[in-house]
Amino acid sequence: MTSIKLALLLAPWLVYFGPYSSSLRNSLTVSIMKMHASILIAALAASGHAAASCLHGTQFYKREAESATVSTDEAIENAVQPEEERKIQFSYTGETGPLNWHNLAAANSKCNTGLNQSPINLDYTVSNISGSAIQMNVPTVQVAHLENLGTTLEVAVNGTTIYDNKTYSLAQFHFHTPSEHRFAEEYMPLEMHMVHQAEDGSLLVVGPSFQLDEEGGDKFLDAVVHDISAVQHKGNETETEELDFSEIIELVTGSEAQNFVYSGSLTTPPCAEGVTFIIPHKQLSLSIKQYNAMKSIIKFNSRYTQNAPGEANLLQVASVDESASEEINLTIPKSFAESIPKGQCLVKVLGTCVVGAF
């Protein structure tokens, strides 16, 4: 790992020399480098981390024993990973966490360069649509398949959502805790992603969120978590009880429904863009019992809030190009430098001291 040379970003006119600043005779030169940082690059495939992404169940990331097909849709093209790269594992902690996803596989480049990444903070700047602009049809199912993917709990179901004159087929829904999207900066304890795909390969995610309710939780979640103890570990599978989607459909499409809508990205690697998100303003009910059951299995699987759509990627903002490093020479009176005991502050730059060396 490359070390940080010196944690100072400065310009010569920002340096403070106190009463000695006007005396520059018999001077010595102190060279200070601009700060630069390197991000860990490693072959990371440690056990205990999962490789399943938000694409699971779509044509880009078929379930076991199914093959992937490639879409020509430019917005999703980068989502298709070579088979060997699809096996690269990611997590939400440490070197396989969100700050380093882009280094886990070449296909993940959008994670640190994309300008329309998800999740985001949802406020008045984000477009809004009423429920009448959306049609959802998700039939009630008697039993559905629930699986622990390691990064989330996922349920495979079928249904359709029509938005902007395009029909999207529901592939699965899964959960994030805490919520990935925030509402005027406030996070919710749980968020559900209903992942859809159209025939042209484009993706749509309907994302209802859940707020804690002292009076009891949503019956839909009761049906999901009734046998949750059976999926304690990655790869564990069980079945849900009857799943009735009517309350979710009403939340999204009802006569009083209001939804945020924007074009973002997958919130897991490869962070491919061109994903349409529809997020209802209101939340469904979540009991403390349901919440504890969900987070005891999922733990934590929320990507950090991204910049507003169209603005610079936060990882790019935080990084400094090492190739642009340059040396800045600061002239300091020699008599002054020698008068400062070794280890004490010689020059103060933006509140940080360069210590004496004599």
Q: What is the pLDDT of residues 136-173, one digit of tens each?
A: 999 999 999 999 999 999 999 999 999 999 999 999 99
Burial code of 96-134, b = ≥16 C-beta within 10 A, e = fewer?
bebbbbbbbbebbbbbbebbbbbbbbbeeebeeeebeeb
How much is the pLDDT for 241?
A: 94
How much is the pLDDT for 341?
A: 74
Tokens 């004490």 found at: 344
Q: Is the confidence at residue 51, as pLDDT, over 70?
A: no
Q: How far apart are CA 244 and CA 142, in angstroms?
A: 9
Q: Where in the chain is the domain with CATH 3.10.200.10?
A: 115-312
- Helix, strand, or coil (residue 315): helix
Q: How far apart are CA 47 and CA 51, in angstroms?
A: 10
Q: How far apart are CA 82 and CA 64, in angstroms?
A: 16
Determine how β-strand 128-130 pairs with β-strand 27-33.
Answer: unpaired
Tokens 């879409």 found at: 71
Q: HSE-up of 34 (CA within 13 Å, CB side)? A: 14
How much is the pLDDT for 138?
A: 96
Region of poorest pLDDT, from 13-17, 257-261, 279-283: 13-17
In SS3 terms, 19-34 reads as HHCCCCCCEEEEEEEC
- Helix, strand, or coil (residue 220): helix
pLDDT tens for 94-106 read 999 999 999 999 9
Model pTM greater than 0.85? no
CB within 8 Å of 53: residues ≥ 6 apart: 61, 90, 151, 266, 268, 269, 270
Say which CATH class 115-312 falls into: alpha beta
Residue 6 belongs to what H/E stretch? none
The count of other CB atoms within 10 Å of the CB of residue 147 is 21
Q: Are 342 and 12 in contact (CB under 8 A)?
A: no
Q: Is the confidence at residue 22, as pLDDT, over 60?
A: no
How much is the pLDDT for 143?
A: 93
CB within 8 Å of 271: residues ≥ 6 apart: 101, 102, 108, 110, 111, 114, 117, 265
Phi, psi (5° rounding) for residue 16? -115, 120
CA 258 to chain centre: 24
Query: What is the band of 266 on the pLDDT scale with cuts at 50, 70, 90?
Result: very high
- DSSP code string of 126-164: S-EEEGGGEEEE---BS--EEEE-SS-EEEE---EEEET
- Helix, strand, or coil (residue 202): coil
Q: How far apart are CA 347 and CA 349, in angstroms?
A: 6
As given in the structure block, the two tokens for residue 88 are 């690269």
Q: Are 66 and 171 in contact (CB under 8 A)?
A: no
Q: Is the confidence at residue 83, as pLDDT, over 60?
A: no
Determine how β-strand 273-280 pairs with β-strand 203-206.
Answer: parallel
